[in-house]
Amino acid sequence: MTEGKISKKIIIFALPIFLGNLFQQLYNVVDSLVVGNVLGKEALAAVSSTGSLIFLIVGFINGVFVGASVIISRYFGAKNMKDLKVAIHNTIALGLIAGVIITVIGIGLTPVLLRMMGTPEDVFHNSVLYLRIYFAGGIGIVMYNTCMGIFQAVGDSKHPLYYLIAAAILNTVLDILFVAVFDFGIAGAAFATVISQFVSAILGFVKLMRVNGEHKVIFSQIRLNRTMSARLLKMGLPTGVQNSVIAFANVIVQSNINKFGSIAMAGCGSYSKLEGFAFLPITSFSMALTTFIGQNLGAKQYERAKKGARFGIFTGVLLAEIVGVVLWIFAPILISFFNSEPDVIAYGVKQMRTESLFYFLLALSHCLSSILRGAGKTSIPMIVMLISWCAIRISYITIMIRIIPDIRVIFWAYPLTWFISSVVFLIYYKKANWLHGNIV
């Protein structure tokens, strides 16, 4: 990432991430498609409304490991191979511990958290069952993200793509087999997801142990290093906290949607699966930007980092808005794929046509925050997101839904807070000396 044409390097790196995330999104959608069409709207509501709770628990851990990715990319760009090896093996050790933590917390707290979210009784049992099986695979979830983060930090975005394709195909086959053929119900969809994630994690881990390079993993060297763990946590905790507060805000949003009943949950849950496609270019260019900025700042190529940042922002914003326009136009058709009931479709279309044309703001916020993370300034995105996407979003919904008891009030919370964070990030990006972050 420190040599060659900037646009070509970023696109070549981002494209496999895009395709990998596309397959990941497809196998997330398959769960809802199979469940919604085979088991009905209540089961669809149970599966599709769990995303915010999953992100609340998993998002913190994954956010912390973003710090590891930044540190690894810096060492790799600076050709500091000694610390690179320590960072990689320390990251894997932390990933194994984090997987166990997610399993214990997820299984133990699932019923309590669903009650706090006001989950309706007609979907509560299925939601508990789905989430407990999902969190039982905590090690697979974390280790997949850990291994893929290491690959991407050293500039390899192709192998994560291969493993996601394999997982997507496996998940699709297992979903149809477990739910439609064997009639395992909600449990079948959960088991399909967990098995697929474990397979992709194992494939990634085995590849890291066999790779011919400085980022090769040697099993006997997987251990915690106090100094490196402190660096990783210092860099990653702000992003973990950021993910958690965003997820907490989204749990509050979901709680308010739940008050409108299982039909609203099914419609909005269907939209959330489709919204994931808008995140594809955003996530792809965000990851590419973090790695690109990290490696080039590690190599002290400051002007190259600035040019790459500008290109990544423009491309990510443009692609996200194109997806938004497509979703707005085809909203009724797309929602109907999940469930054909008119009321379910109506709720999904309402949310999609309220939010989709503002995806450029979402992309802008994510790209700018990724640039700052790559520069080692992870506390800035945390603070901005905590204020705009958590405090302001929750306050707005809490106040306005009492004044105007219309579900569209909830939907508008997203574009409004995307706008606020984008403005703040732009001001910081233009005025602050973000180029000279120092983490190694």
Q: Which amino acid, 292?
A: F
| Residues 6 or more apart whose Cβ sits within 8 Å of residue 246 | 55, 59, 385, 389, 390
Q: What is the pLDDT of residue 423?
A: 95
Give 344-374 pLDDT, tens digit per residue.
899 999 999 999 999 999 999 999 988 888 8
Q: What's the pTM value of the predicted model, to 2 decimals?
A: 0.69
Q: What pLDDT, in 10s, does the model give residues 302-314?
A: 888 888 888 989 9
Sign of CA dihedral 237, 276, 190, 129: positive
Least confident of 27-41, 84-98, 203-217: 27-41
DSSP string, 320-387: HHHHHHHHHHTHHHHHHTT---HHHHHHHHHHHHHHGGGHHHHHHHHHHHHHHHHTT-THHHHHHHII
Asked whether residue 54 carries a pLDDT value surpassing 80, the answer given is: no
pLDDT band at 438 (very low <50, low <70, confident <90, very high): very low
In a domain, 106, yes or no: yes
Contact 274, 327 (CB under 8 A): yes
Cα dihedral across residues 70, 75, 81, 82: positive or negative: negative
- State the pLDDT at residue 368: 92
Are 16 and 152 in contact by the 8 Å Cβ rule? The answer is no
CA distances from 271 to 5, 42, 411, 419 (A): 38, 16, 11, 21
pLDDT confidence of residue 321: 93
How far apart CA 305 and CA 294 sit, in angstroms, is 9
Mean pLDDT to the nearest integer, 320-332: 93
Return the pLDDT at 286: 83
Window from 18-27, 106-115, 155-164, 407-416 with minimum mean pLDDT: 18-27
- Contacts of 38-41 with CB under 8 Å at 24 or more apart are 38/179, 38/180, 39/179, 39/185, 39/186, 40/339, 41/262, 41/263, 41/266, 41/339, 41/341, 41/344
Tally the residues of the chain: 440
Phi, psi of 309 (to 5 degrees): -60, -45
Mean confidence (pLDDT) of the chain = 84
For residue 78, tell me if it sits in a domain.
yes
What is the pLDDT at residue 436? 56
Q: Has residue 1 been placed in a domain?
A: no
In 290-357, beta strands by DSSP E: none
How much helix, strand and coil, in percent to the nearest 5, is found in the chain? 85, 0, 15
Residues 253, 387: Cα–Cα separation, whole Å: 16
What pLDDT sits at residue 440? 40
Measured at the alpha carbon of residue 376, what is the angle toward residues 204 and 215, in degrees to the nearest 5?
Answer: 30
Spatial contact of 393 and 412, defined as CB atoms under 8 Å apart: no
Domain range holding 36? Answer: 6-436
Residue 32 has pLDDT above 90, yes or no: no
Q: How many domains would you assign to the chain?
A: 1
> Has residue 290 been placed in a domain?
yes
pLDDT tens for each residue of 107-138:
888 888 888 777 778 788 888 898 899 888 88
User: Is a pLDDT exceeding 90 seen at residue 49?
Assistant: no
Spatial distance between the Cα atoms of 274 and 28, rounded to a whole number of angstroms? 10
Which range, of 115-129, 239-253, 416-430, averages the lowest pLDDT?
A: 239-253
The number of beta carbons lying within 10 Å of the beta carbon of residue 402 is 9
Q: What is the reported pLDDT for 299? A: 79
At 331 the pLDDT is 92
Tokens 């929602």, residue located? 335
pLDDT computed for residue 428 by the predictor: 87
